[in-house]
Amino acid sequence: MNRILVVDDEANIRLLYAEELADEGYEVATAATTAEAVEQLQKQNFDLAVLDIKLKNESGIELLQKIVKERHDMPVILCSAFSCYKDDFSAWLADSYVVKSGDLTELKEEIKRVLAKKAQRKASGM
Amino acid sequence: MDNAAVQWECCWDRDLTSLEDCPNLHEGDGDLLASRPRRFLEKCCDCDRFKTDLSRFRESGHPLAPFFAILHNDYRRQRSQIQSLGSFLDTKTLEVRFLHELGSVLQSSVDLDEVLSVALTAITSGKGFGMNRAFLLLADKERHFLRGHLAIGPRSAEEAGRTWQEVSTSDLDLQHLSRAFRQHKLSAERDKFQDILGRLVISMDNIHHIVIRSLEEKKPLLVQNAFQNPDVDQELAQLLGVDSFLILPMLARNRRVGAILADNVITRQPITEDDLRSIETFTFPVAFAIERASLYERLQVEVTKLQDANQRLQEQQELLVRMEKMALVGRITSSIAHSIRNPLMIIGGFARSILKATPEDDPKRGFIDSIVSEAQQMEEVLDEILTYSDALYPVRDFWDVNQLVETVLRDIQEKALSQNYACRFHPAEGLPSAYLDYKQLSYCLRNILVGTIDGLENGALEISTRLDGDRIEILIDDRSRRLSEDELEALLTPFAETHEMGSGLNLALCRNMLEKQDVPFLVVAPPDDGIRYSIKLPTRKEEEP
């Protein structure tokens, strides 16, 4: 079972993601701040992280940079209400970018795609 | 000699009572009857009878007689001198008056044509220097050449007779003469002498040319025997066709402004050194006036340029203010939209979750379904608003417009087919690339096309491209709809609605995006003739010439 870390400062969004992704068969952990996220990442291994970009007084992009640096084998999907971040070079470090929506179909499809890609990479020994 | 015994022929020793008593007295000399000394000095001294009396006096052997004769002769010589000095003074007074009048006219004008008209009229008018003809040569802007600029004078004896007759009967002063010349004859005179003026070109580096020499030496020259004179350029002599002419250099603050050539081509009257000296005094104010008028003309050009620049600056400022306002609106809407987005997403997301878990036959399923679809619709509106507010900084490059239109048409093909809407594209061939923001223009085109197709079936759209000056125009003709002026206005107003085409946000957004790229976007809806959209794209960056 793939384990996903969801990082978002909105409790309801964390809850929604946790419910929906669990329904899809993933094991989901959540974090409200970067500190919580780092702590979770240190405690256990995740197959994928879904990050919000604007976290109260913090930046999800900084967390992304940290993950890329320290856990480069773990794919990250950025999920934000701000479509403009798509054009931000630093956001390009992520494996995918999804604009937040009540319809989680796109997010779910991206998670599937990214995990499949990761599995393929692993299989080919890269 | 006993005076009482001598009978003098002249009446100098007698008191007279009538004008008939002396043959030298005429009507108007009445007051001389009362004053014998005045009569003696004014009349008797020139009288032949008095001269006879004087001879007889000398013959008498009187010791004072020779001395008296000396006094008489010297008195007559001095009187003649005084008379010629008086006449010289009169001439000079007239000259000074004329120069004063000329000076006043020249000083008060900054119009080059007026100054030139005054100068040339002064040289050629009978009230001025009375020359037959004058040519004005002016230094070009770079001060490399003197070029024939204007001329005045008759070209034939008949014309001379006619013109001089006209002038003599008109009794106009210099100012009015020059004004009449400027208003009625200036361009005609220029045309009349064009054959000569066109060939009057003298290099200012040619210091051997007599005109340039006159300028270099800063003194006017009287040229005599021009056809035989080795100092005179024969081409110039042939061109003027006269043996004698004046060269008047014009200098202002040591700057070589030009030269005037003047001659008596019709009357062939000799030009004298006196003529030269009289005219010399006039060249300084003329040169200064010409220089001042030329500078004023250049100043006017600069002022016009400045005014244009100022107007452009003002327009830019207004545009900036407008953009600032738009940016502010954009920031506010963006902020509101983002605040709404998260709760909306949560509502929609949970509604979907509940919907999934709700059995198909649950009567409440319809309500939940409504929440999902309403939330979905609100998210779409938010997307539009966010695109509107994000469209502040276009990224532009050169793109193939036909290819862009084809791509957009492919994108909307499915929608058009589903509504049986025909979209025909007529691309112009050989178009240059256009300078545009690909993403934004694609968005605008898509919006216009989708907005047109939406809600109508079996319609037809004609899309074409064409080169219009240095811009590429995209034309979209929708003949399936009719819009009133109010509806057209509403179509371009954010959040206004039209009965025919729904919310005006899309087109307002398109206009905003395109205006920021300096791309004119026009929508016209002639009565009973559909709707035409026109987008004019630049083919070069604005800073390129």
pLDDT tens digits for B282-291? 787 888 888 8
Q: Would you state the structure tokens that stand for residue B424, as one six-digit string? A: 């025909």
Q: Is the CB of residue A84 less than 8 Å away from at least one CB of chain B?
A: yes
The packing angle between helices B365-390 and B273-357, to 10°, is 160
CA dist., res. B257 & res. B254, Å (int): 9
Contact B342 A84 (CB under 8 A): no
- Sort out which chain A residues have CB atoms less than 8 A from B350's CB and list them: 12, 16
On the question of pLDDT at A44 being above 80, the answer is: yes
Percent of chain B scoring above 70 in pLDDT = 92
pLDDT band at B36 (very low <50, low <70, confident <90, very high): confident
Q: What is the pLDDT of residues B322-354, one digit of tens each?
A: 767 766 776 777 677 777 888 899 999 999 989
| Pairs of residues, one from chain A and one from chain B, whose beta carbons lie less than 8 Å apart | 53
Give the residue with greater pLDDT, B528 vs B305: B305
Question: In B, residues 145-204, which contact A (CB 8 Å cutoff)?
Answer: none
Return the pLDDT at B538.
92
The residue of chain B nearest to residue A24, with distances taken between CA atoms, is B353
Q: Which pLDDT band holds residue A53 (cuts at 50, 70, 90)?
A: confident
B419 by DSSP, 3-state: which?
Answer: coil
Interchain contact, B349 vs A20, CB within 8 Å: yes
Q: Which tokens sit at A46? A: 């995740």
* Residue A107 · residue A76 · CB < 8 Å: no
State whether residue B400 is helix, strand or coil. coil
The minimum CA-CA distance between A99 and chain B, rounded to whole Å, is: 10
B544 has a pLDDT exceeding 50: no
- Between CA B119 and CA B102 the distance in angstroms is 8
- Residues in chain B within 8 Å Cβ distance of A20: 349, 353
CA atoms within 13 A on the CB side of B405: 23
Which one is predicted more confidently, B537 or B387?
A: B537
Amino acid B327: pLDDT: 67
The pLDDT tens digits for B359-411 are 888 888 889 999 999 998 888 888 777 766 666 555 677 888 998 999 899 88
Residue-wise pLDDT tens digits, B269-283: 999 888 888 788 778
Give the distance from residue B348's alpha carbon to the nearest chain A alpha carbon, in angstroms. 4
- C-alpha closest to that of B262 among B242, B234, B287: B242
CA B58 to chain centre: 81
Band of the pLDDT at B246, cuts 50, 70, 90?
Answer: very high
Give residue for tokens 């100098």. B12
Residue B503 in this model has a pLDDT that exceeds 50: no
Average pLDDT over residues A9-27: 93
Indicate yes or no: CB of B353 within 8 angstroms of CB of A16: yes
pLDDT computed for residue A91 by the predictor? 64
CB-nearest partner of A102 from B348, B386, B390: B348
| Overall average pLDDT of the B491-515 stretch | 61
Which residues of chain A neighbour B348 with C-beta distances below 8 Å? Answer: 101-103
CB-based contact B375 A102, cutoff 8 Å: yes
Q: In this structure, are residues A30 and A18 in contact, taking their beta carbons and an 8 Å threshold?
A: yes
Nearest residue of chain A to residue B335 (CA atoms): A82
Q: What is the pLDDT of residue A59?
A: 80
DSSP string, B1-28: --TTT---SSSTTS--SSGGGSTT--TT
Mean pLDDT of A71-100: 77
Please report which confidence band the pLDDT of residue A33 belongs to, taking 50, 70 and 90 as the band edges.
very high
Contacts (Cβ under 8 Å, ≥6 apart) of B450: B412, B415
Q: Residue A79: what are its φ and ψ, rounded to 5°?
A: -135, 115
A-chain residues near B383 (CB < 8 A): 83
State the nearest Cα–Cα gap between A4 and chain B, in angstroms: 19
Residues of B with CB below 8 A from A98's CB? none
Q: Tell me, what's the pLDDT at B391? A: 60
Nearest Cβ partner for B342 among A13, A20, A104? A13
The pLDDT, as a whole number, for residue B504 is: 45
Please tell me if residue B375 touches chain A, with a CB cutoff of 8 Å.
yes
- Most distant CA atoms of chain B, gap in Å: 174
pLDDT at B540 over 90: no
User: Chain A residues with CB inside 8 Å of B372's CB?
Assistant: 102
Handedness of CA B397, B400, B404, B410 (dihedral sign): negative
In Å, how far is A53's CA from the nearest CA of chain B? 13
Interchain pair A103, B376: CB under 8 A: yes
Rounded distance between C-alpha atoms, residue B499 and residue B483, angstroms: 9
Using CA atoms, how far apart are residues B518 and B436, in angstroms rounded to an integer?
A: 10
- Yes or no: say if B477 and B461 are a contact pair by the CB < 8 Å rule: yes
pLDDT at residue B499 tops 70: no
Q: Residue B496 has what pLDDT?
A: 47
B356: closest CA of chain A, how far (Å): 10
Domains of chain B: 19-91 (no CATH), 93-299 (3.30.450.40), 394-538 (3.30.565.10)
pTM of the full predicted structure? 0.44
Lookup: tokens for B362: 């649950």
Express as a percent the part of chain A with pLDDT over 70: 90
Is there a contact between B346 and A10 if contact means CB atoms under 8 Å apart?
Answer: yes
Q: Give the C-alpha separation, B365 to B359, whole Å.
A: 8
How many domains in chain A?
A: 1
CA distance linking residue B316 with residue A102, whole number of Å: 43
Residue B185's Cβ-count burial label (10 Å; 0-12, 13-18, 19+) is middle
Domain coverage including residue A17: 3-123
Which one-letter amino acid corresponds to residue B397? D
Q: Do B342 and A100 touch (CB under 8 A)?
A: yes
CATH of the domain at A19: 3.40.50.2300
Residues within 8 A of B (CB atoms), A 2-41 only: 10, 12-13, 16, 19-20, 23
Please give the residue of chain A at the shortest CA–CA distance from B340: A81
Instruction: Report the pLDDT value the prediction gives residue B381, as an integer from 0 to 100.
Output: 82
Output the pLDDT for position B498.
47
Report the alpha-carbon distance of residue B260 to residue B250 in Å, rounded: 8
**Would you mind telling me the total number of residues written for chain A in this entry?**
126
Whether A42 and A31 have beta carbons less than 8 Å apart is answered as no
Count of C-beta atoms within a 10 Å radius of residue A115? 18
Q: What token pair was written down for B316? A: 């830019």
A104 and B CB contact within 8 Å: yes
| Interface check A81 vs B, CB under 8 A | yes
Determine the residue of chain B that is closest to A86 in CA distance: B390
- Give the CA count within 13 Å in the CB-facing half-sphere of B465: 20
Cα distance from B431 to chain A (closest Cα, Å)?
Answer: 30
From CA B529, how far away is CA B531, in angstroms rounded? 7
Contacts of B113 (CB under 8 A, 6+ apart): B182, B186
User: By the CB < 8 Å criterion, does B377 face chain A?
Assistant: no
List the structure tokens of B460: 């037809």
How far is the alpha carbon of A11 from chain B, nearest alpha carbon, in Å? 10
Q: Does A125 touch chain B (CB under 8 A)?
A: no
